Amino acid sequence: MTSIPASLPLRNDLIGEEPYGAPQLDVPVCLNVNENPYPLDEQVADSIARRVREVAQTLNRYPDREHVQLRQAFCDYLAHESGTRLGVEQLWGANGSNEIMLQIFQAFGGPGRTALGCDPTYSMYPEYARDTFTEWKVIHRRDDFTIDLDATLEGIADIRPSIVLLTSPNNPTGTNLPLEDVRTLLDACGRIQVAGAAEGTHPVVVIDEAYVEFRNPGTPSAVSLIPAYRNLAVSRTMSKAFAFAGARVGYLAADRGIVDCLRIVRMPYHLSAITQASALAAFEHTDLQLRRVAKLRETRDETAAWLKRQRYHGASLQVADSESNFLLFGKFDDRQKVFDMLLDRGILIRVVGPDHWLRVCMGTDEEMAAFRSAFTEVLSQID
Ligand code: PMP
């Protein structure tokens, strides 16, 4: 809870707002914020310590504002991961993809502008919009959480947003957005004039690929469309599959023009020398950092199958198809009660997304066994 004296001239639209964030509770099993549950390998930790030691004595100086070495590392990683080689000027880093997204809203949103998304989706999007005085509008996803392409195209034509923001795989549902749909949306945006902007401007289409490494093998990334579309931006992060959430490193791949727009709004020296050194060290060990991704995919598929076999009020549970490291499952008459009963048993999951559904993030085998055992007990007591 916040404690803000009425005498403070907080912005009118922020009065009554609470800081965003899932509860950070000290419980044995945390499956609530879509982290990678596996700690870093010793070798990676040693490389980070070495690189940070190297920059420690230069901390009297500001870091490389353009973080060129790190942008080169993003390029090399994307070429390896998505099969598309971009230039350094097409990459841009920030403190988590949260900051990337805020910079996108700062550059392309603002008073009189609208950003459009498809809900249910990541709950931070309305906050970036609020903080940049951008209007946030949504088109509802279908019952299976896929986007309603026709309704979205209609929404784009009616609203003429400056930002179309879609998530693939989506949070909290795990739903993949087919590349064909991204292409259709990009083509449509190429024919739209943005409301409240100069003649000849088109919406920027942002695909948030925070969880993309967990997609089913063979699924292409939107990064492959960047060479063909100047209004496409793909946001990525090292927080999830790359097991680097604590370091706060996100990045964007896009046409150079979009990167140059973000360079206008970024804070000077926004990426500390320590952050840059840590990320470079982690990229020395890409394969080690990603070695549990296939395992987490397996855990997801096994957990989804197990959840679907569970019965609640005489019927099987529903589980949304997920290409991510988490599962949305339900539906529960009182999801808060299920959440609380799990928490009583030391398991922290997340109350998020549409009413009646809960989200659980994939943990280690031991953590998932603890989740299954606690959840079985909860179901037997609730029925
Ligand atoms: N996008 C999505 C869809 C997310 O779920 C998250 C984190 N939960 C983020 C972006 C931000 O992640 P980070 O700032 O750690 O890169």
Q: Identify whether the C-beta of residue 279 lies closer than 8 Å to the C-beta of residue 249.
A: yes
Distance 123 CA to ligand 1 centre (A): 10
- What is the best residue among 35, 103, 105, 122 to mutate for testing ligand 1's pocket, by most ligand atoms within 8 Å of CB? 122
CA distance 306 to 308: 5
Express each pLDDT in 167-186 by its tens digit: 999 999 999 999 999 999 99
In CATH terms, the fold of domain 42-289 is: Aspartate Aminotransferase; domain 2 (3.40.640)
Give the confidence band of 20 by pLDDT, cuts at 50, 70, 90: confident
Q: Reply yes or no on whether the pLDDT at 370 is more than 80.
A: yes
CA distance 143 to 134: 28
Quick count: other Cβ atoms within 10 Å of Cβ 263? 13
Q: Identify whether the C-beta of residue 221 lies closer than 8 Å to the C-beta of residue 82.
A: yes
Closest CA to 92 of 226, 287, 290: 226
Side chain identity at 172, as an amino acid letter?
Answer: P
Question: What average pLDDT does the segment 36-42 reach?
Answer: 97
> Is residue 96 in contact with ligand 1, taking CB distance under 6 Å?
yes
Please name the residue ranges forming H helices in the chain.
Answer: 42-56, 68-82, 96-108, 125-131, 149-159, 179-189, 256-265, 273-283, 286-289, 293-309, 335-344, 365-382
Q: Reply yes or no on whether the pLDDT at 383 is more than 70.
A: no
Tell me the β-bridge partners of 208. 167, 235
Express each pLDDT in 290-324 by its tens digit: 999 999 999 999 999 999 999 999 999 999 999 99
Q: What is the mean pLDDT of the chain?
A: 97
Q: Whose CA is nearest to atom 1 of ligand 1?
A: 210
CA within 13 Å, CB half, 243: 22
CATH code reported for the domain at 12-39+291-382: 3.90.1150.10
Domain residue ranges in the chain:
12-39+291-382, 42-289
CA distance 303 to 297: 10
**Torsion over CA: 76, 80, 86, 89 (sign):** negative
User: What is the edge-to-edge ordering of all strands in the sheet holding 318-319?
Assistant: 318-319, 326-330, 357-361
What does the pLDDT read at residue 21?
A: 83
Distance 208 CA to ligand 1 centre (A): 8
Side chain identity at 137, as an amino acid letter?
Answer: K
What does the pLDDT read at residue 272?
A: 98
Give φ, ψ of 207 to 5 degrees. -105, 115
Tell me the β-bridge partners of 251. 93, 236
CA 373 to chain centre: 29
CA distance 74 to 96: 13
Question: What average pLDDT does the segment 262-284 reach?
Answer: 98
Distance 377 CA to ligand 1 centre (A): 32
CA distance 128 to 106: 9
Q: Identify whether the C-beta of residue 332 lies closer than 8 Å to the C-beta of residue 312.
A: yes
Closest ligand 1 atom to 33 CA: 8
Give the confidence band of 355 by pLDDT, cuts at 50, 70, 90: very high
Q: Reply yes or no on whether the pLDDT at 1 is more than 90.
A: no
Name the DSSP letter for residue 214. Answer: G
Express each pLDDT in 83-126 by its tens digit: 999 999 999 999 999 999 999 999 999 999 999 999 999 999 99
Least confident range of 24-28, 180-184, 331-335, 375-379:
24-28
> Is residue 250 in contact with ligand 1, taking CB distance under 6 Å?
yes
Side chain identity at 55, as an amino acid letter?
Answer: V
CA 244 to chain centre: 13
Distance 343 CA to ligand 1 centre (A): 24
Express each pLDDT in 210-226 by its tens digit: 999 999 999 999 999 99
CA 342 to chain centre: 25
Q: Whose CA is nearest to atom 6 of ligand 1?
A: 210
Distance 210 CA to ligand 1 centre (A): 6
Q: Dihedral (C-alpha) 328, 330, 179, 205: value to the nearest 10 degrees?
A: -70
Tokens describing residue 316: 């099987």
> Is residue 210 in contact with ligand 1, taking CB distance under 6 Å?
yes
Q: Identify whether the C-beta of residue 25 lies closer than 8 Å to the C-beta of residue 348.
A: yes
Tell me whether residue 146 is exposed, middle or buried, using C-beta atoms within 10 angstroms of its C-beta: 0 to 12, 13 to 18, 19 or more.
Answer: middle
What does the pLDDT read at residue 2?
A: 81
Side chain identity at 380, as an amino acid letter?
Answer: S
